[in-house]
Amino acid sequence: MLSHYIEIKILPDPEFSEPMLMGALLNKLHRALVELNTTDIGVAWPEYQLKPKSLGGRLRIHSSAAQLDMLMGLSWLKGMSDHAHCADITEIPKQVEYINFNRKQYKTNADRLRRRRMKRKGESYEEALAHIPVTIERKSDLPFVSLRSQSTGQSFQLFINQSETVSEPQVGQFNSYGLSQGATVPWF
């Protein structure tokens, strides 16, 4: 049950941008959630906006007080003390709305899709080009964080979609980034 939250505020830094620090913060949170092996910790970005696209400088982590206590016991914020301020575990206000934050994946890199098709179907570049035109590429208008996969070492962009607010919570599971396709987190 999402009864409590922790709010982490990115501090201004002359060397690192806010999006870069948010990416580092989410990378560290991801590793901690993998270690905890839990599906009941969700995240929210109170300053999320589409124009200009930004997640903002605050991250809220929602769960039960016990789960948040276990999370903070992992010392996962080590190395971020100069870059972020972490508030204490706090009870969620009584009157809230609910919102969903989920990952939106775009398969937009035409060259990557062509190489994949060539490998899977044994086609030449020209054949793959005929099936996957340049016009397939789409640019996302969603805020994102740049992350690095721990397993492959590849950099990728994690696009974050925010739903409309609802008056009743939707129960479900959260992934190792604290995102969910259906579950909501408190919004206040």
Which residue numbers are catalytic?
30
Please give the structure tokens belonging to residue 84. Answer: 């972020």
HEC letters along 136-167? HCCCCCCCEEEEECCCCCCEEEEEEEECCCEC
Half-sphere exposure of 150 (CA within 13 A, CB side): 11
Do 148 and 154 form a contact (C-beta atoms < 8 A)?
Answer: yes
Do 60 and 4 form a contact (C-beta atoms < 8 A)?
Answer: no
Residue burial 24-44, b: 16+ Cβ < 10 Å; e: rest: bbbbbbbebbeebebebbbbb
C-alpha to C-alpha distance for 114 and 36, rounded to whole angstroms: 38
What residue has token string 């964080």?
145
Please give the structure tokens belonging to residue 6. Answer: 């922790």
